[in-house]
């Protein structure tokens, strides 16, 4: 079935890199996304990658895609306390269909 899996928690020290991992199931997904959600707020689109790419870099964010293993990761360089949030991975198996993971709660320790 359709499922996007993420680990529940990640804790890092300020200034370190964070790596959040995700596995998805639908190989037909053409786009894969990372969203950030702060407490009580909506989801903020951080970045996304087209399925024919294996890497995308956007300032402190690096997305890696392993299509063979259906594995997506988000690396945040020089993690700051403001990066503390829940991060959602999502796949897009259809034009109007998005499947979201359960989110990874990132805690940045000062």
Partner 1 sequence: DGGITQSPKYLFRKEGQNVTLSCEQNLNHDAMYWYRQDPGQGLRLIYYSQIVNDFQKGDIAEGYSVSREKKESFPLTVTSAQKNPTAFYLCASSGAGVTLYEQYFGPGTRLTVT
Residues forming contacts to partner 1 in the complex (CB under 8 A) are 4, 30-31, 33, 35, 40-45, 48, 88, 92, 95-103
For residue 50, the minimal CB distance to partner 1 (Å) is 8
CB 92 within 8 A of CB 101: no
Which residue lies nearer to partner 1 by CB, 3 or 78?
Answer: 3
For residue 43, the minimal CB distance to partner 1 (Å) is 4
């Amino acid at each position: 079935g359709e499922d996007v899996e993420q680990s529940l928690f990640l804790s890092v020290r300020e200034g370190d890199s964070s790596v959040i991992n995700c596995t998805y199931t639908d190989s037909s997904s053409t786009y894969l996304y990372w969203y950030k959600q702060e407490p009580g707020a909506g989801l903020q689109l951080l970045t996304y990658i087209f399925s024919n790419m294996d890497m995308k870099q956007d300032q402190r964010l690096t997305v890696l895609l392993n299509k063979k293993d259906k594995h997506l990761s988000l690396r945040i360089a020089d993690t700051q306390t403001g990066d503390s949030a829940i991060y959602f991975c999502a796949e897009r198996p259809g034009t109007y269909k998005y499947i979201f993971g359960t989110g990874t709660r990132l805690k940045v320790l000062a």
